[in-house]
Chains A and B, each alone.
Chain A
Amino acid sequence: MAYGVTQQMIDTFGEIVFKLSLNKQTRRGDAVRELDFDALDAARDETGLTDEEITERIGLLPEQVGVVRVFTERKHHKIDQHRRIYHLGGGKRWKKEAYRSPAERLRFNEEAMMLREAINFKPELAARYIEDGYWINETLNGWLADHAQNTPDAIAILHPGGEVTYAELKSRVDHLTNGLLSLGLMKSDVVAVQLPNTLDFVVSYLAITAFGGVMQTIHMPYRDADIEFLLGHAQARTVICLPAFKDFPTAEVMLSMKEKLSALEHVITVGDMEIEGTLMLESLMIEGTPEIDNPPVGSDPFLLLYTSGTTSNPKGVPLTYQNMMSNARVSVAEFKMTSVDRNLSAAPFSHLYGLFNFHVALNAGATNVLLPAFTPPDLAKMVEATKATTVFLGPAHATAMINAGLMDAHDFSSVRFSVFSGAACPPQMMETYRDKIPGTRISQLWGMTETAGATYCRYDDAADIPVRSAGRASPGDEVRVVSPEDGKPLPANTEGDLQVRGCSVFPGYLNNEEANADAFTEDGWFRTGDLAIIDDDGNMTITGRTKDVINRGGVKFNPADIEDLIIQHPKVEMAAIVPVPDPALGEKACCVVTLLGEESVTLEELCTLLDEHKIAKNKWPERLEIIDEMPLTPTRKVIKGRLMDKL
């Protein structure tokens, strides 16, 4: 180092040089004005010395003093102190306790930054969504605050325990937000939630997102292995759950996860059962308006959902406010939802579909009716009791109610709009459902965790459209069908690979480069993996899954139609057709079924059925496997990947 200065010299003399220099000054009395030279001389060290004077005091060269002083000053120097000035004057006085530097106020955990790095949109598309007004600076809690201020007494939530106004909901959310902040949670930290559709879920969701946190949902049927994977992958810091669910000791399992997962710090349980090692949600209700240093903004991620994993491990799908809020906001007008509506979701809030319709109703300032767990009678009773006006359900929910005669036994006349999603909707069921509620209009909605509500039938669509299709793209979204061979867009009414692009489409999978490489085209279209047909008016109908396509000696076919026919066989409960390797043809079709009763079924019987329905012979399965239980996702989709592994 220059002038013979060593690090040891800096370490040895730095602090005394710093102290003796003009960095620190002390004056006693008023010696200059009083011309008290003796006092001035006596106080030389205290009033601050030049480098030359320090040289005389401590025995270094003046140049060495300079270097030592500068390095020590740097050690002490903080570079952003001047930002305090922005908080002063104009009637404001300095309050130390009220000030936090931007660096401290806006800091993130490392895990949170990992999640934020997954938010990676194509700039030209982002610019378009902003210019077109789809992406704005809106948040879930912004909506809640608006309603709490403008319509404080309107009913926000109807649930088995009673009703909660918007003002009451805001207050509860504020209190839990205080509690979560008291745990040291910060913006973009992941808080996992495994709860049914209850008030606790809603309050937790809104409180997590109020301070900028990201909610990860865990489906209620998930158990140890699934939970460990999901919490670990998401780097969740906290989990909110039931003490136990049916025979599953949820809290106990979550506590065991704390031992395995370094990021997981807190387990919060709902209800009044005290469990050692967990925090009770109620104990985190701390009165007062939360002081949020780093409030959420429109571009922030706020949801981390996971795909159901029909072909592989679940993939993490981070979603931003701009993705989800824009999708819900534009859908309000399309569904003609208003603040007088009472919206009931039969779908669990752990799924995108459930959250989507919750968001739509929240944006409209409507009432969300909570159905904690679906059973056909409970859904029917809830509709009748609450006079729900809009219902979001799956075809299986409706089928179960129809088959059980519940739609005849209960009053559904309040329902003016019913939206179906989650699985293929048999036209006959849709017609029957509509016949049972003469006043209702129906809609089909298609979406994925990755796309939110990408297409749906509008409230005013002609009656036949929702029976045969999932409608047109949501405003701000585009859909197209492309050739599986060359990726070029196909003309209307031609089956091909469905692709989606738009404001509601996710930015990319969390920590999954391989999946991300396959997920998008160069120009930002998301490859859905679904097969579809789009008609001349833009109405889209799902026809199958790309990955389910069987390639039999170069002849490719979608087995979805075949599966639908086989399910109609009186001996068959569920059916799935998957490819199996064949040395001559490359692939052959194997039909895997579960049975309704004890009586078995043969391949010949199934092929006879197909023959009766004029199905081309080259689409008939050439192998049959009968299994006891079909591997299903929590949304009751067959996990074909697991079937193929078994075969």
Chain B
Amino acid sequence: MAEKFDPEEVKQACEGYVKKKGALAFGLANLETLERISPPGCGPSSMLPKVKSVLCVGVGGGTRGAWSADAKTLAYIGDTETMAYRIAYGLAFYLEAKFGYRSIFVPPDMDPEKGARVPMQSMKLHAEVAGIGARSMAGDILLHPEYGMMYYASVFTEMELPPDEPMPDNPCPHSSCVKLYRQSGQTPCMRFCPVECLSGSIGNDDKVAEMNYDAHACAEMSQQYEAIPGVLLDTLDAKDPIERGMALHGPENQVIWYKLAIGAGELLALCYECMRVCPITQTAPLSNPIARGAGMRQKIVEAEAAAKAEHTVEQAAEKGE
């Protein structure tokens, strides 16, 4: 039987652990909320029946150099999700070893039973409910006002810990995106998507009114695993040896076999264009590790405190205090 621990202290210890390992953000999602929102069979308890808490970590995206590279290169080096998984994997062991509660690192892959784009668990939902990201115009990619775009990983544990709240405000759309939308009817992420998978509208309150995401078009470009059966069927249908050979060895398909041969789960990753043009991703003050090291975090904390104090003074003035 596990010992009694102060949940707040455990939470702080976990946060300390993941940040030491390189995570930027940490939070706990409300389990009941997740179960309420998740489709049947996709909630945390479907995976770990005695789950009591969902811990979420976020790690930073690509370097500035990665963002300025060509998209082909960025597709390979832009994602840092394996780092997030590694930290979550360590956190699960940490929880078990230090506190004695069974924990799992949540598998990041899609559900083999529930269709092409249904994940085993939605890490995005976990992180959003945990308050370390909010849904953007760009196909619901989560954004954080300080860290920009992050990769997320989750840990389920049987230890009960106090959950966090979702972020009070959504940084998306950025004010410059609203301005562009008013002028052209499109935000940058919509405008520069190479497969036009994004569309939507911004309301008079400058918040996202509607976001449409063509996940099929996006996946067509970025996740070639769906092309494999198509390629094989094309091969069977091919009329002559050249056509047959091209179906398998054509330049449009050759990366598939390479990736299969080296056992990579991801066949191409993403094109990242929506994030490359996203002002939040590109200008979030702490998305740059160098800026974090230079004490920017402290400056932001101070700026936020100053703004909060100013707001309090304004409210008091309004109330005539």
Query: Hey, which bits of chain A sit against chain B, CB under 8 A?
Result: 18, 21-30, 32-35, 37, 40, 48-53, 66, 69-70, 73-74, 76-94, 96, 99, 102-103
Contacts and interface: CB of A to CB of B under 8 A. Distances in A.
A85 B268 contact: yes
Interface of B: 33, 36-37, 39-42, 68-75, 111, 113-118, 125, 128-129, 134-135, 139-140, 166-167, 170, 191-196, 207-217, 220-222, 224, 226-227, 229-231, 233-234, 251-253, 255, 268, 271-273, 276-277
15 contacts: A22-B118, A23-B116, A25-B212, A34-B166, A48-B215, A79-B234, A79-B252, A85-B72, A86-B72, A88-B71, A88-B194, A88-B273, A89-B71, A102-B251, A102-B252
Contact of B194 (A23, A30, A94): A94
Contact of B271 (A73, A76, A88): A88
A195 B230 CA distance: 50
Contacts of B217: 81
B222 A37 contact: no
A81 B197 CA distance: 12
B131 to A, nearest CB: 9
B252 A32 contact: no
Given A23-B215, A82-B220, A89-B69, 11 more contacts: A24-B212, A24-B216, A27-B211, A30-B208, A53-B40, A69-B116, A77-B216, A79-B253, A82-B224, A82-B252, A85-B194
Contacts of B113: 51
A5 to B, nearest CB: 15
**Interface of B: prevailing SS:** mixed
Given A23-B117, A25-B140, A74-B229, A32 B39 contact: no
Given A21-B117, A23-B216, A50-B42, A79 B227 contact: yes
B72 A50 contact: no
Contacts of A23: 116-117, 214-216
Given A82-B268, A85-B221, A33 B252 contact: no
Nearest to B212: A26
B117 to A, nearest CB: 4
Given A25-B213, A33-B170, A51 B114 contact: yes
A549 to B, nearest CB: 43
Given A22-B117, A22-B215, A84-B195, A30 B135 contact: yes
A74 B228 CA distance: 10
Nearest to B66: A89
A81 B210 contact: no
Contacts, number: 176
Nearest to A54: B115
Given A27-B135, A99-B194, A50 B226 contact: no
| 10 interchain residue pairs of minimum CB distance | A89-B71, A88-B71, A90-B70, A80-B252, A22-B117, A23-B216, A89-B70, A81-B221, A84-B194, A81-B220
Contact of A50 (B118, B224, B229): B118
A600 B118 CA distance: 99
Contacts of B268: 82, 85
Nearest to B170: A30
A18 B116 CA distance: 11
Contact of A96 (B41, B129, B196): B196
Contacts of A52: 39-41, 114
Contact of A79 (B71, B128, B191, B230): B230
A69 B72 CA distance: 30
A32 B125 contact: yes
Nearest to B30: A35
A609 B299 CA distance: 115
Contacts of B139: 25
Contact of B135 (A18, A32, A51): A32
B189 to A, nearest CB: 11
A28 B207 CA distance: 10
